[in-house]
Amino acid sequence: MHIDFHAHLYPEEYLKKLEASKGDVRIERNEKGERIILSMGAKAGPVTEDFFDIEVRLDRIKKNSIDMQVLSTPHPGVDRFSPDESAEMSRIINDGLAKVVKKYPKHFQALAMLPLIDTRLALKELDRAVLDLGLKGMCMLTNVAGKTSDSDFLLPVYERAQSLGIPIFIHPTTPLGAQVMQEWRLAVILGFEFDIMLSATRLAYSGILERLPELHFVISHLGAGLPFVIGRIDRGYDDPTCGIKTKKPPSEYLKELYCDTVSFYQPALMMAYRFYGAQRMVLGSDFPLLIGDLPGAVPSIEAMDISTEDKEKILGGNVQRLLKLKT
């Protein structure tokens, strides 16, 4: 069974809320009349029918050897609004995703978005999304309104996710300093990758990964450059001026993360395979974003020079285990 863990769907009601927004996160129309999502200097879109029409999506994934997608609605996220607006948008997103799962349970599962800027509201929505709606995990951004993944206000959410036995998918968003990345979509091309590495490394350095060993994080894009710079990250552990107090080097915690395979570049995939191992990699397409590759997602794994057993883990077995899906 081929399960695409990194795939996005934008419920229509959520898109309407973004169109009504006048802030830094909003939707505007381009010269063709297409909807473009704007977020703190980054653009996404155009918002074609692939983003919201589930019937069109179902046909597309079947044609590209995908049996199931795990849907999320991350970037631009809900954290740049007031707590009440953020909570309302989270409910709209989660209700929309749950409707899709209810209609096509064999082809779609979903991850909840939460109003993380308000811990009380986030915990309330997390319980509703998982216990009432049946969503299989939660999705968060690499920074929450500019605050890092190791911030104290997030700890109760992490603890609750661990007690519920659900994974947390960390998806990139516009990093701080994006004003120097506006040309050539650099906020998305490079800024997203930096924020992935920063988020994961802070979780390791701060001791959160050590403190919550039963909580499973899934990071995007093979962990960006983490496997490539892991030696440098471990050097920080050996440097007393860095002040890292974990019992083991950061690499020992970081290699326990899951990563999705949104890269499609064979040398990068093989490096991630050597660092994380097949048991920690999950198939991803980043559909329907233009930077993703639905047609190339499954073939990129099938082309890897690894055993058939390991390919099966990456293509779907790991997600079945992670989300406790019935085979």
Q: Could you read off the pLDDT of 123-162 as tens digits, one per residue? A: 999 999 999 999 999 999 999 999 999 999 999 999 999 9
Two tokens, residue 151:
């911030």
CA distance 186 to 194: 11
- 3-class DSSP state for residue 146? coil
pTM over 0.85: yes
pLDDT digits (tens, 9 = 90+) for 27-77: 888 888 888 887 766 677 788 888 899 999 999 999 999 999 999 998 788
Mean pLDDT of 214-241: 94
- Bridge partners (DSSP) of residue 6 are 284
CA distance 69 to 92: 20
Tell me: pLDDT of 182 over 90. Answer: no
In this structure, the number of other CB atoms found within 10 A of the CB of residue 195 comes to: 26
In this structure, the strands spanning 68-72 and 3-8 are parallel
- pLDDT at position 76, please? 84
In this structure, the number of other CB atoms found within 10 A of the CB of residue 104 comes to: 16
CATH 3.20.20.140, applies to 3-322: yes
CA 264 vs CA 57, 182, 284: distances in Å: 21, 25, 9
Mean pLDDT of 20-33: 82
Two tokens, residue 261:
């395979």
Query: What residue type is 207 in one-letter code?
Result: G
Task: List Cβ neighbours of 211 (8 Å cut-off, separation of 6 or more).
Answer: none
- Bridge partners (DSSP) of residue 69 are 4, 108
Following CA atoms 74, 68, 258, 222 in sequence, which dihedral angle do they give, to the nearest 10 degrees? -70
- pLDDT at position 41, please? 60
